[in-house]
Amino acid sequence: MFDTVVKKLRTYRKYQETYRELARLSTRELDDLGIARSDIPTIARRATF
């Protein structure tokens, strides 16, 4: 059970890190990558979960 909690915490932290990194990009940088700002949560989720 403790392992499950630790895994979920690590996954959530990775999600937050990915989200923050993408959110820091300018709109132009996101456009260059083909990412809409509204897609950031979905992309961060896919990258971590």
Give pLDDT tens digits for 2-49.
889 999 999 999 999 999 999 999 999 999 999 999 999 999 999 998
Q: What is the structure's pLDDT at 2?
A: 83
Q: What is the structure's pLDDT at 6?
A: 95
Q: Which domain holds residue 11?
A: 2-48
Q: What is the structure's pLDDT at 32?
A: 98
Contacts for 38-43: CB closer than 8 Å, 24+ residues apart: 43/18
pTM of the model: 0.86
| Nearest-angstrom CA–CA distance, 8 and 2 | 10
Residue with token string 């809409």: 36
Q: What is the structure's pLDDT at 1?
A: 83
Domains in the chain, number: 1
